[in-house]
Amino acid sequence: MINVTKPYLPDEAKYNSYVSHIFKSKWLTNNGELLQELERRLAKYLDVENVLLVNNGTLALNVAYKLLELSGEVITTPFSFVATTSSLVWGGLKPVFADIDKNTLNIDTGEIEKKITKSTSAIVPVHVFGNGCNVEEIEKLAKSYALKVIYDAAHAFGVSYEGRSILNYGDISTLSFHATKVFHTIEGGALIINNKKLYDKARKVIDFGIDGPDHISYLGINAKMNEFQAAMGLCILDDIEKIQSSRQKIYNRYVDAFRLEARIILQSHNNKCSYNYSYFPIILEDEESMLKVRELLRREDIMPRRYFYPSLDQLNYIDSEFMPVSNSISSRILCLPMYDSLEVNDQKRIIQTVKEALL
Ligand SMILES: *Cc1c(COP(=O)(O)O)cnc(C)c1O
């Protein structure tokens, strides 16, 4: 069976040597040596001042909302993984959707301003499928209305905007290092916090708000990453160039195959950004064509995913206006298998099957 993604596993002996080290040191979690090394190496690789590692990408979002003391309404995109919205509701905030641009699949910056009210405290955009948002427009809006910006950058590992890491934009960017992402630590995530004071506070907030042996300074939570996760991250970071170059080849083969296919639309990428080859979504003409493509692929034991479906304005625990563009895209988009070890012959079969479905 070919799945939409396959987690990357590093050299087993290398991982085991880190595990032996952990068994000898008996230091399993709480700001361990491996975690500190991974934070340093990631900051360098990602070209950011600081990286704060946490247990997963959803907690990274929740910690970010608390750090920035958000309240009331938060403007976000209806076209994302559910965690972008559910984390807001979980944090006692009201998600207010601004519809997306049908080409970039990112939040439509022209729609954001219409949704700002007296209760709005922040904007939470997503760099969907690693495609960078219009960060300058968003920054302007945020400045003129005094709003915080938290980028859900779960898909944007390694993406740069005009040559600098896109993670430097906004007050905070959050990453997910879940097993299915381009870079992973089994489960994991990170916060990239531009303000040094806030970063120092965040390190305590993710550890129950504890500030020294006899001191609790803040309301905190437990969001710490452990040493086994950090070890996985260190092994995978060694291989990241290799992973990215394989992904790039696979991505280019898909683009070559579908670029001139009139009945398939590909996501338009922000030309000021680099791309990390994280996903390969195709947008069909209607839901029926998409379901037909999916059915023929399934018959070949190929499992694409409806990312993202449903549009988040449809969640039963929120109250939202209908988002026409997001719902339309959501009903006819399919992510094709995309991972570093996808075999050329399997990819040919995927491409062939998609094309046959459209005949
Ligand atoms: C994966 C993902 C998350 C959640 O990350 P976890 O590490 O799985 O908690 C949040 N937002 C987006 C856009 C994601 O794709």
- Ligand 1 centroid – CA 351 distance (Å): 28
Tokens representing 285 are 């003409």
Q: Which CATH class is domain 240-357?
A: alpha beta
Mean pLDDT of the chain: 97
pLDDT in tens, 150-177: 999 999 999 999 999 999 999 999 999 9
Number of Cβ atoms within 10 Å of the Cβ of 305: 18
pLDDT in tens, 255-301: 999 999 999 999 999 999 999 999 999 999 999 999 999 999 999 99
220: confidence class by pLDDT, cuts 50, 70, 90: very high
- Of 61, 79, 152, the residue with max ligand 1 atoms within 8 A of its CB, to mutate for a pocket test, comes to 152
- Ligand 1 centroid – CA 77 distance (Å): 14
Nearest ligand 1 atom to the CA of 187 is 7
Residue type for position 177: F
- Of 176, 307, 311, the residue with max ligand 1 atoms within 8 A of its CB, to mutate for a pocket test, comes to 176
- Ligand 1 centroid – CA 154 distance (Å): 6
Q: Which CATH class is domain 2-238?
A: alpha beta
- Ligand 1 centroid – CA 18 distance (Å): 26
Number of Cβ atoms within 10 Å of the Cβ of 69: 9
Q: Is 293 exposed, middle or buried (0-12, 13-18, 19+ CB in 10 A)?
A: buried
Percent of the chain surpassing pLDDT 90: 99
Is 90 exceeded by the pLDDT of residue 307? yes
Percent of the chain surpassing pLDDT 70: 100
- Ligand 1 centroid – CA 26 distance (Å): 30
Which residue has the least CA distance to atom 10 on ligand 1?
Answer: 83
Is 90 exceeded by the pLDDT of residue 355? yes
pLDDT in tens, 311-347: 999 999 999 999 999 999 999 999 999 999 999 999 9
359: confidence class by pLDDT, cuts 50, 70, 90: confident
- Ligand 1 centroid – CA 48 distance (Å): 20
Pocket of ligand 1 (CB under 6 A): 56-58, 80-81, 83-84, 126, 152, 154-155, 176, 178, 189
pTM comes to 0.97
Nearest ligand 1 atom to the CA of 189 is 7
Domain boundaries, the chain: 2-238, 240-357
- Of 65, 77, 82, 84, the residue with max ligand 1 atoms within 8 A of its CB, to mutate for a pocket test, comes to 84
| Whether residue 308 has a cis bond before it, omega within 30° of 0 | yes
Q: What is the DSSP letter of 182?
A: S
pLDDT in tens, 121-150: 999 999 999 999 999 999 999 999 999 999
CA-closest candidate to residue 54, choices 236, 173, 176, 161 = 176
Is 90 exceeded by the pLDDT of residue 306? yes
Which residue has the least CA distance to atom 7 on ligand 1?
Answer: 57
Residue type for position 346: D
